[in-house]
Copies of this chain bind each other. A is one copy, B any other.
């Protein structure tokens, strides 16, 4: 009655079965959102029974979390070019572009992570929290390196910079996540990178010696300040 749902072989080794459930679950999460995500639909879609799902996933929530983690793994697993030679502005742009592209590619999953999981007390104990930090790191690494190279100011509150960048990313994509319209990854990334650059780069970076010295002093003081915060 509800379509034949490819007649999966009855008995599967643990790995295959888990994989097939996760795949179906991801589809359901994409199509329905986490609110409307039911174990029944997952079972139907992967041609197994709810009982089997509960064999491998103790809880609906665990399944949902696993889907998100696996999805995140795929993104983090993609090779990410270091671009150590590119100018710092280029690298910042690219790191932001990459974060935005995740949102763009998987809105439903992003929404689930940002809105359901992140709001959950205990979020910090999840693997996805650490995965998310990795994403953040890719961007912040560039910022820190910009500081070392003297391109960016040394006295930045890095947490604040982080919050501004990722806050902007989320704000720019809310409408999209809500299903209202689209956004351009390129345009958003270059807009954010641009404002951030101006906000954090060293002003007169030109060439007079006094300015140079001041800049060096600034870097040293910045590092001192950071040490004091520990």
Instruction: State the A residues within 8 Å of B (CB).
Output: 111, 115, 118-121, 123-124, 155-157, 159-164, 166-172, 174, 177-180, 184, 187, 191-192, 195-196, 198-200, 203-204, 208-218, 220-225, 227-229
Contacts and interface: CB of A to CB of B under 8 A. Distances in A.
B211 A209 contact: yes
Minimum-distance CB pairs A-B, first 3? A167-B167, A199-B199, A163-B171
B170 A170 contact: yes
A120 B214 contact: no
Contacts of A179: 121
DSSP class of A's interface residues: helix, strand, loop or mixed? Answer: helix
A115 B118 CA distance: 10
A195 B164 contact: yes
A168 B163 contact: yes
Contacts of A115: 115, 119
A214 B210 contact: yes
Given A119-B178, A121-B180, A164-B192, A209 B217 contact: no
A208 B161 CA distance: 25
Contacts of A123: 178
Contact of A210 (B119, B120, B159, B204): B204
A120 to B, nearest CB: 7
